[in-house]
Amino acid sequence: MRSKDRDAIRAYVARLDHERATLASELEEEIAPVRALSIAERGAWVASVCRSAWAVLRSRQDMHEVLAMREAPAPDFEELWKGLMARRKAAQTRTPS
């Protein structure tokens, strides 16, 4: 591989690393205020987000089409779901009602 090609690859990887770091810091800025909230406060925050999303949907002329759209589940959904259900069942077995 030529030196010029290696330099181009290094520059490309550096750009990807910078983009990843930028996205990570932007995400952290968005969620940092929520970290300090109590469970009740988080619940109120989630409810507020849901009300805002519903207001945006109501404002769209294609609201019914948007709501009817379905995405395919993630490829690992079934495996994750079964794992979560197994953990739930194990927790219920450990703490009788």
Domain boundary assignment for the chain: 1-36, 38-97
What is the C-alpha radius of gyration for the chain, rounded to an integer number of angstroms? 22
Contacts for 38 with CB less than 8 Å, ≥ 6 apart: none
**pLDDT tens-digit readout, 13-24:** 999 988 888 888
pLDDT for 97: 58
What's at 14, amino acid-wise?
Answer: A
What's at 82, amino acid-wise?
Answer: K
Q: Which residues of the chain have pLDDT under 50?
A: none
pTM: 0.46
pLDDT for 54: 96
For residues 97 and 95, give the distance between their C-alpha atoms in angstroms, rounded to a whole number.
6
How many residues appear in the chain? 97
